[in-house]
Amino acid sequence: MALEIERKFLLAGEGWRGLAEGIDYRQGYLCADRQRTVRVRIAGQKGYLTVKGATTGLARSEYEYDIPLKDALAMLDTLCPQPQIEKKRYTIPWQGFIWEVDEFFGLNQGLVVAEIELQREDQVFERPDWIGREVTGDPRYYNAALCAAPYCTWVDRQG
């Protein structure tokens, strides 16, 4: 079983821009509830199917598989409900860690978040100066939740 341990943050500035080239993402959900999510994703020109379990603390089980791009497109177009996630992901190495900055578009335009994946829940890391407030425990920032309640519908967009 693969285990994902990640923390999520809002951005505190534009200092991350220019540190990496972005890759376009499109993703939708075949299933999205508290116990599990099944996601179809296109990242650049590659397709993926990902199954995630319920979050316990900062961790959850995660299984990801490459799938043919044409299958991912067909599932997004015919099986995954709208709205879907449109974003650009920037992968930025920093102090021995990888930060993934997601800049959202479409109905989530204006939202930018950064994630860091860890080996342990108590792992110590240094935050770049462009990292702001942590939103790890706020379910509104989960990508699956952003499909159901897009950022443009939020009354308080700073969380």
Q: For 76, list phi and psi in degrees, rounded to 5.
A: -65, -40
Tokens at residue 137, please? 């425990």
Region for 106 from its dihedrals, namely left if φ exceeds 0, alpha if ψ lies in -120 to 50, beta otherwise: left
Known catalytic residue at 25? no
Q: For 43, list phi and psi in degrees, rounded to 5.
A: -120, 110
Is-contact 92 101, C-beta < 8 A?
A: yes
Exactly one of 25, 29, 90, 141 is catalytic; which is it? 29
Question: What is the dihedral sign for C-alpha 151, 115, 100, 64?
Answer: negative
Residue type, 55: T
Distance, CA of 91 to CA of 59 (rounded, Å) = 21
Active site residues: 29
